[in-house]
Copies of this chain bind each other. A is one copy, B any other.
């Protein structure tokens, strides 16, 4: 249970860099986030009130509020009128981010490998047409990959991209995540909608994913959008449920 703790001075010796192109509120938010993650501001403590904190950093209150709101959105702190700002249990952290399976595995220290099973331009039909919002029959890049970690197969992934985004090679794809390759074209990813379900594996899928016959697979269909609202990628994937689960964070 949360024990009342005296407020901590979270702004000690921190000075913003006014010459930096990084917004002040973001510099502050990042500083506080580091302080929390490193344990310098322990979980459960009250953070110094925003007015004093702003003053101690030589910032206006609105700027400090914006930094605080950033931490609230990330689930690092909760604020209550009349009470203060408290660092919350790490359990409800886990930011919701648009990351790729490749990055997830890499950051978890499990060595992801990718086998590119197919890399070709096809004509868009049916669901691909609809999801990517392209003309029927227009060329799209079809990718099929088998993603493994620590030598064990995790997922078979099928992706479709509008052809104008196909500026990378099969070799690039084997070495890096798809999102990485898309982002390096100057495209700013904005959001994605994903539908998760389950079904039984076919015989071929069982073999490919090294699962028993008829094993339960997780299915995922994802459409990713850039910051213009255009679809940049549609994928339909299957995951070996014995070796992978999805973590999702929901907010009110």
User: Contacts A190-B78, A191-B251, A229-B78; is A218 near B196 (CB within 8 Å)?
Assistant: yes
B92 touches A191 (CB 8 A): yes
Q: Return A178 CB to nearest CB of chain B, in Å.
A: 15
How many subunits of this chain does the assembly comprise?
2
Report B-chain residues with C-beta under 8 Å of the C-beta of A89: 133, 225, 229
Q: Return A198 CB to nearest CB of chain B, in Å.
A: 4
B216 touches A200 (CB 8 A): yes
User: B78, B94, B191, B195: which contacts A227 (Cβ < 8 A)?
Assistant: B78
B193 touches A249 (CB 8 A): yes
Q: Return A46 CB to nearest CB of chain B, in Å.
A: 13
Q: Return A134 CB to nearest CB of chain B, in Å.
A: 9
Determine if A91 is an interface residue (Cβ-Cβ < 8 Å).
Answer: yes
User: Contacts A216-B217, A231-B91; is A96 near B198 (CB within 8 Å)?
Assistant: no
Report B-chain residues with C-beta under 8 Å of the C-beta of A86: 229
Q: Give the complex CA separation of A78 and B2 in angstroms.
A: 39
B194 touches A252 (CB 8 A): no
User: B190, B244, B248: which contacts A251 (Cβ < 8 A)?
Assistant: B190
Report B-chain residues with C-beta under 8 Å of the C-beta of A75: 191
B200 touches A96 (CB 8 A): no
B250 touches A94 (CB 8 A): no
Q: Give the complex CA separation of A184 and B140 in angstroms.
A: 51
Q: Mark A171-210, 1 if CB is under 8 A from B, else 0.
A: 0000000000000000011111111111110000000000
Q: Give the complex CA separation of A193 and B229 in angstroms.
A: 27
User: B229, B245, B252: which contacts A196 (Cβ < 8 A)?
Assistant: B245
Q: Give the complex CA separation of A228 and B2 in angstroms.
A: 9
B193 touches A98 (CB 8 A): no
User: Contacts A191-B251, A250-B191, A250-B194; is A241 near B78 (CB within 8 Å)?
Assistant: no
Report B-chain residues with C-beta under 8 Å of the C-beta of A216: 198-200, 216-217
A191 touches B252 (CB 8 A): yes
A193 touches B91 (CB 8 A): yes
Beta-carbon nearest neighbor of A240 in chain B: B198
The chain A residues found within 8 Å of chain B, CB to CB, are 1-2, 62, 75, 78, 80, 86, 88-89, 91-92, 94, 96-98, 133, 188-200, 214-218, 223, 225, 227-231, 241, 244-252
